[in-house]
Structure 1
Amino acid sequence: MEVDSVTLNNHLTEILSGVGIQWTFRSENTLIAEINKPTDIFTVFDDVLDGRLRNRLKLNNQTGSLTITNTTTEHAGDYEQMTNKLTAIFSLTVYARLPVPVISSNSSQCSSSSSSSSSSCSLVCSVVNVGHVTLSWYKGNSLLSSISVSDLSISLSLPLEVEYQDKNTYSCVLNNPISNQTQHLDISQLCHTCSDSVHCCGSTEAVIRLVLSALVGVATVILLVYDIRSRRAEQDQAQIHTSGI
């Protein structure tokens, strides 16, 4: 996992006299550490590779093992340890910390009847900026659907349809080979049935309807005022005309 430390060790208990060891980031053919046992000189080259290993390399003076601290996904790749007689290759994979999946309602409006058992609620489970993970929906302990990605920094989403009155337990799980994050579904919070014309809609649609109703009311008042003033004006004109005669 990111920020963990990892030790690349060929299980040597002691560096033999006269043996030299070189550590190379094989993925980019770059020397990152060197041990010269005859002179007891131990050197790390942590400014190479654009500094991604700076202050992160530690050499074991006795065994020659290499430790990488505070790892990130940039440190993934193949590392090679070369001695006078032996070459060992270590393949390192670093997994990012997993975010908790987010479950949201994907329905534009709720069920038209609170007693309708056939109505379904559309949900979606999503995560952003993930890589090398699998996103899955579970009903209890049973897998319903899943989607996997091997790329880095990608967004994933997985839909689910449930009944409004469903009493089963659902959960959305994000996992990689060494960890997982789970978000449980609360149907009563995300899936609402309709009890009246306002609750039948999402909050945004309800606000729009209220605004439209208010505008219609204002327009009606304006028309009434205009009609009353017009009638008074006509009456005044009629009185003036009568007085003139």
Structure 2
Amino acid sequence: CNSDTREVKSVSVLEGDSVTLNSDVKVQGDNMILWMFGPEINRIAEIYKQVIDMFNSNVKFGYKLQMDSQTGSLTIRNIRTEHTGLYKLSIFSKRGTAYRNFSVIVYARLYVPVITRDSSQCSSSERPTNQNCSLLCSAVNVSAVTLAWYKGNSLLSNISVSDLSISLSLPLEVEYQEKNTYSCVINNPIRNQTTHLDISQLCQTCAGNSIIN
């Protein structure tokens, strides 16, 4: 009989890591296990009569694919964002055909956000009359992330983006003498990175445009 539920298992992974898509079967006799990828449904790996064929998957994956000879599970090593997509598994046996689908999302690595001060405030004429310090938290070449300012554990503001490889920035104003703790956090569904604000370092000196990262 055929088992074709077409259920899709979602898999999230960080760029540069390895991920294994499990077949949950054991290769027997003349079973055939076939992996396909992408909207073109290209064949990328197959086991038939216990012989592995990787087709021309090296063109797309650069020899990053590995197929388990005992189970037919597929491992993608050093995965890249361009490997995001739908992976289709077909298992052909004497008992029928089974299908499994995996939706793989590869997130770019996160780097700590950078906090800078608005350098225009560093004129002596402005400092005495302006009791606030203007700051900017920035992140470059990011996708599918949220950038946020926190005061202690309380969210102050945030901005999200889903586009590929863009730059984000989020402003914040604090008082020169205040003692509250602030932090800028960037996160995706897998990981987060935090930079803590040192008000005394950024807001009490005008010797250049100070940076915290």
TM-score by length of 2: 0.82
Residue among 77, 86, 89 paired with 1:81 = 89
**SS of aligned partner of 1:165:** coil
Tell me which residue corresponds to 1:3: 16
Tell me which residue corresponds to 1:54: 62
Paired residues in the alignment total 188
Tell me which residue corresponds to 1:109: 121
Residue among 67, 78, 85 paired with 1:70 = 78
**SS of aligned partner of 1:35:** strand
Q: Which has the larger radius of gyration?
A: 1
For structure 1, the residue ranges without an aligned partner over 5 or more in a row are: 194-201, 205-245
| Mapped partners of 1:128, 1:138: distance in 2 | 20
1:157 positional shift: 0.1
For structure 2, the residue ranges without an aligned partner over 5 or more in a row are: 1-13, 209-213
Residue among 31, 54, 63 paired with 1:44 = 54
1:112 positional shift: 3.2
Tell me which residue corresponds to 1:135: 147
Structure 1 residues 116-131: aligned runs within 5 Å: 119-131=131-143
Structure 1 residues 1-245: aligned runs within 5 Å: 1-12=14-25, 14-37=26-49, 40-47=50-57, 51-84=59-92, 85-110=97-122, 112-113=127-128, 119-192=131-204, 202-203=206-207
**SS of aligned partner of 2:61:** coil
Q: Is the 8 A contact 1:46 1:53 kept in 2?
A: no
Tell me which residue corresponds to 1:220: none
| Mapped partners of 2:110, 2:67: distance in 1 | 30
What is the one-letter code of the residue matched to 2:127? S
| Mapped partners of 1:70, 1:178: distance in 2 | 16
Q: Is the 8 A contact 1:27 1:79 kept in 2?
A: no
Higher helix share: 1
What is the one-letter code of the residue matched to 1:64? G
**SS of aligned partner of 2:167:** strand
1:60 positional shift: 0.8
| Mapped partners of 1:58, 1:86: distance in 2 | 21
1:134 positional shift: 0.5
Higher strand share: 2
Tell me the alpha carbon deviations over residues 134-177 of structure 1, each in whole angstroms, 9 at most, x when there is no partner.
10000011110110111110000000010111110000001111
Q: Is the 8 A contact 1:46 1:54 kept in 2?
A: no
Q: Is the 8 A contact 1:146 1:158 kept in 2?
A: yes
**SS of aligned partner of 1:109:** helix
| Mapped partners of 2:90, 2:193: distance in 1 | 39
What is the one-letter code of the residue matched to 2:71? T
Q: Is the 8 A contact 2:45 2:57 kept in 1?
A: no
What is the one-letter code of the residue matched to 1:124? L
